[in-house]
């Protein structure tokens, strides 16, 4: 079970969090003309990298903040966590 550092609460066990997927996906702006292909990429296509990955976790049984976690998907090492609005490196 992972031990995730929440920038708002401190280190907490994984069972307080819900996984939220790839944090690098950016929602297309509202009212923007966009092709089927682009929209399809946004809604359905995700990379599944082995190694470093920036992902979203929701501290659902804690502060209820969405946070970004930089994690190695094969070793589970967590390098850094960010607040939702914090710029990632």
Partner 1 sequence: MSQDFRLNNIGMVNRNKKISFTFNGKKYFGYEGDTIASALIANGVHLVGRSFKYHRPRGFFGVGVDEPYAILQLERNNERDPNIRATEQEIFEGLEVKSVNCWPSVNFDIGAINNFLKMFFPAGFYYKTFMWPPSFWYKIYEPFIRMAAGFGEASIKHDKERYEHKYEYCDVLITGSGPSGLASAYAAAKNGARVILAEDKPRYGGSLLTSDVNIGNQTGAEWSEKIITELKSMSNVIVKNRSQVFGYYDHNMLVMSERISDHLPKTQKYLPKQRLWYIRAKEVLISSGSIERPLVFGNNDTPGVMLSSAAKEYMKVYGVLVGKKPLIFTNNDSGYETAVEFKKNGVNPLILDTRKEPSSDIISEAKNLGIEIKFSHVVVAAKGYKKVKSADIAKISDNKKDLSNIENIECDCICVSGFWTPSIHLASQSGNKSEFNEKIDAFIPKKSKQKENTIGSANGKFTLEETINEAFDKGYEVSNKITENNNKVSIPTVVEKKSTEHDKFWCVPLPKGKSYKRFLDFQNDVAVSDIELALREGFRSIEHVKRYTTLGMATDQGKTSNLNGLQLVSDIENKVVPQVGHTTFRPPYTPVSIGAIVGREVGKHSKPTRKSPMHEWHKKNNAVFVDAGVWLRPRYYKQGNETLFEASKREAKNVRKNVGVCDVTTLGKIDVKGPDAAEFLNRVYTNAWLKLPVGKARYGVMLREDGIVMDDGTTTRISENHYHMTTTTAQAANVLSHLEYYLQLVWPELNVNVVSTTEQWAGAAIAGPNSRELLTKLFPNTDVSNEGLPFMGYKEGDLFGIPAKIYRISFSGELAYEVNVESNYGNFMWEKIIEVGKEFQIQPYGTEALSTLRIEMGHVAGSELDGRTIPHDASLEGLVSKKKDFIGKRSLSRSAFIKPDREKIVGVVPLDKTTSIPEGSYIVKDPKAKLPNPKLGHVSASCWSVEYDNPFSLAIIKDGKNMIGQKLFAMSPLKNKTIPVEIVSSHYVDPEGKRVRA
Which residues contribute to the site for Zn ion (CB under 5 A)? 6, 8-9, 59, 62-63
According to CB under 8 A, which one of 58, 62, 80, 82 is a site residue for partner 1?
58
| Minimum CB–partner distance for residue 14 and Zn ion (Å) | 13
- Residue by residue, DSSP assigns 29-73 as PTT----HHHHHHHHH-----SSEEEEEEE-TTTT--EEEEEEET
Tokens of 22: 């790839």
Beta bridge partners of 77: none
- Partner from partner 1, Zn ion, none binding residue 59, C-beta < 5-8 Å depending on class: Zn ion
Instruction: By CB under 8 A, tell whether 64 contacts partner 1.
Output: yes
27 lines the binding site for partner 1 (CB under 8 A): yes
């Amino acid at each position: 079970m992972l031990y995730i550092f929440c920038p708002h609460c401190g280190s907490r066990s994984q069972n307080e969090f819900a996984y939220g997927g790839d944090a690098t996906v950016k929602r297309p702006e509202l009212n923007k003309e966009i092709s089927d292909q682009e929209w399809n990429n946004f809604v359905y296509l995700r990379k599944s990298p082995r190694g470093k990955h920036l992902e979203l976790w929701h501290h659902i049984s804690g502060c209820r903040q969405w946070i970004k976690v930089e994690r190695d998907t094969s070793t589970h090492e967590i390098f850094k966590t960010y607040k939702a609005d914090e710029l990632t490196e």
